Structure 1
Amino acid sequence: MNEIKRSGNPIFPGWYADPEARIFEGKYWIYPTYSAPYDEQTYFDAFYSEDLVAWTKVERILKMNNISWAKRALWAPSPIEKNGKYYYYFAANDIQSNDELGGIGVAVSDRPEGPFVDAIGKPLIDQFYHGAQPIDPHVYIDDDGSVYLYYGGWGHCNVVRLNEDMISIRAFDDGETFKEITPELFVEGPCMIKRNGLYYFMWAEGGWGGPDYSVAYAIAESPVGPFNRVGKILQQNKDVATSAGHHGIIQVPDTDEWYIVYHRRPLSETDANHRVVCIDRMYIEEDGRIRPVQLTFEGVAARPLKEG
């Protein structure tokens, strides 16, 4: 009897973090941060798979020297497809005040593997609104076509709406542009999914360099909340790995089958930047709550995407 093929964890070699997970053109895609000291985070790679088990690396899909305003530290990408193009949101420069150049940028490509080019020649969001550092973008398109960009660090989370062009910001119907939606204990790394008409908003808690980094969530009836914290769904397992957080989600189309893609630190590592990308199943209970994820070394079984 053939042994079931499994991904194993980590799912590909190298130090990577902050993975965004998507399905583009019939393949699974993961877009991570290259995890290194900030001054070495000068490019992005991507990975794709047809079955969640065998992953192919695409190198240098976006490089700092192709972004005129980026000078230090690229991280936390979030791409989306819209109108036949791929828009790629990312953080750069790790700005500490409104006096510095940097924040959240946007690049564009005709293909999910890039190469991506800077779309506007400047940051899309370059100021601190409501105390949120402009980092960790996560783009989400609702069923009605509305596009939301969630982002934030320093314990504050904002959401903005994007115009149809995907490279400019529009106001909400109430006239507000930068809407603060910070849930309890939010630190960074927002992520949004929708299931059965409800919005599941997730985020990272704790410090990214420490073992207690984790993911919690809230459920709301609106993409702008209010988001009342339910509890943690991803955290360290002292027998497997520490610092499990900053994730993306894959839903197999037309199913209630969910996977969480996240980074964690192997038990053998003490360097904060030594993070690896892993995948495990995420289950949503009959009552709609997310079951806490079990960290594994085995990963997940092969799951080809159906054709057609």
Structure 2
Amino acid sequence: MNSKPTQMNLLYTILFIGLSLNSCSQQKEEETKITPPPAVVLKDIFLADPTIFYNEGTYYLYGTTTGNTSLNGEGFQVYTSSDQKNWKGPVGAQGGLALKKGDAYGSQGFWAPQILKYNNQFYMIYTANENIAIATSDSPLGPFKNVSKEPLVAPVKQIDPFVFIDDDGKKYLYHVRLTNGNRIFVAELNDDLLSIKPETLTECIAAQLQWENTQNADWPVAEGPTVLKKDGLYYLIYSANDFRNPDYAVGYATSKSPLGPWKKSTTSPIISRNLIGENGTGHGDLFLDKDNQLQYVFHTHFSGTSEAPRKAAIIEMNFVKKENELLLEARKESFRFLKKN
């Protein structure tokens, strides 16, 4: 009478052990599986008036420090990247700074740097205390220093410098003078890059068109010049409107001479909120990447309702021939914000 229950109990016991072993095996398999690392979340880079300098396989990103940071007002940060997509930094030689207050001219208002390599030395041309100064370094990471701690001599306040070296070796300083508005001027530089030839000083651009002063301000703004030469023609790219204005935008003018006169393009603005859907698009710099593609790095407002902190962004630029005229255009689809790890 007890044989059947005993056999049934034995069967249940074997079945239970089998299920338990299977469950333990599955658990061990789950435990031994390699858990994928969490996805890396890239963060916006908060820099205004940005510039990118390419040297020996590395991109160096500089700009006006913006946002809540302990480095704000202390000099110029620098970020690095090998592909323009993943940026590291700030990685400047002095606590993230490529130029640190105290090593060069200036105590405040460190704005709009430009980097160039000349005679095996790296030069940083920048604004501080609403004056233009030049510092040097043996490395793009700094430290950039200005031993004299003196700015370029000028009778007025001046900002937003850009040095252009022509095919014949002549050097030109494009910059903004604060006189009846922000106006773009140019002057030939002496070979030491430390002073201009006053007799060559010439006004280039003033904000006079409707798109350049959408708020009808008494102090119109044209600023952030950068220059390149293409097929014998000089292209001066600039920004107009106050940087806090959502209509801050980028246009350009052309000339047959680095000193002008300049003819404004009828296709301006070529970068604006109408093109990319972001407010405050402007004040950047042109550069050629490792594939010889022309790029423009610039800043935008933080959001549709807040100007600060401004964000660094990039867009491809191309020359397009239309009706025997070589036009400069921005490729909308290439626009993106620069990100750091």
Shift of 1:264: 0.4
1:9-24 alignment runs, 5 A limit: 13-24=44-55
84 and 12 in structure 1: CA distance in 2 versus 1, 3 angstrom threshold: farther
Q: Single out whichever of 216-225 and 58-67 deviates more from structure 2.
A: 58-67
**Is the CA contact 1:216–1:234 (under 8 Å) kept in the aligned structure 2?**
yes
**Aligned residue in 2 for 1:3:** none
1:90 equivalenced with 2:122 (yes/no)? no
Q: Single out whichever of 39-48 and 24-33 deviates more from structure 2.
A: 39-48
RMSD (CA atoms): 2.5
**Aligned residue in 2 for 1:241:** 278
Structure that is richer in helix per residue:
2
1:289 equivalenced with 2:331 (yes/no)? no
Code of the aligned partner of 1:187: A
241 and 29 in structure 1: CA distance in 2 versus 1, 3 angstrom threshold: same
CA distance, structure 2, for counterparts of residue 285 and residue 234 of structure 1: 15
CA distance, structure 2, for counterparts of residue 106 and residue 50 of structure 1: 27
TM-score (structure 2 length as normaliser)? 0.72
**Aligned residue in 2 for 1:140:** 164
**Aligned residue in 1 for 2:261:** 226
Residue among 47, 60, 69 paired with 2:79: 47
CA distance, structure 2, for counterparts of residue 216 and residue 119 of structure 1: 37
83 and 24 in structure 1: CA distance in 2 versus 1, 3 angstrom threshold: same
TM-score (structure 1 length as normaliser)? 0.79
12 and 278 in structure 1: CA distance in 2 versus 1, 3 angstrom threshold: farther
CA distance, structure 1, for counterparts of residue 112 and residue 336 of structure 2: 25
Kindly indicate whether structure 1 or structure 2 has the higher relative contact order, using CA contacts under 8 Å at least 6 residues apart: 1
Deviation readout 1:245-275 (Å, 9 max, x if unpaired): 00111224684x21111100132551x3310
149 and 295 in structure 1: CA distance in 2 versus 1, 3 angstrom threshold: farther
Greater radius of gyration (CA):
2
**Is the CA contact 1:140–1:149 (under 8 Å) kept in the aligned structure 2?**
yes
* Unaligned residue ranges in structure 1 (runs of 5+): 1-10, 95-102, 301-308
CA distance, structure 2, for counterparts of residue 91 and residue 134 of structure 1: 8
**Aligned residue in 2 for 1:165:** 192
Code of the aligned partner of 1:207: D
**Is the CA contact 2:184–2:223 (under 8 Å) kept in the aligned structure 1?**
yes
**Aligned residue in 2 for 1:75:** 111
* Aligned residue pair count: 270
Shift of 1:293: 4.5
1:1-308 alignment runs, 5 A limit: 13-36=44-67, 40-57=72-89, 58=91, 59-67=96-104, 69-94=105-130, 103-128=131-156, 133-152=157-176, 153=178, 154-171=181-198, 176-185=199-208, 187-230=222-265, 231-237=268-274, 240-252=277-289, 255=292, 257-267=293-303, 270=306, 272-286=307-321, 287-294=325-332, 298=336
Q: Single out whichever of 39-48 and 282-291 deviates more from structure 2.
A: 39-48
Code of the aligned partner of 1:124: L
Code of the aligned partner of 1:147: K
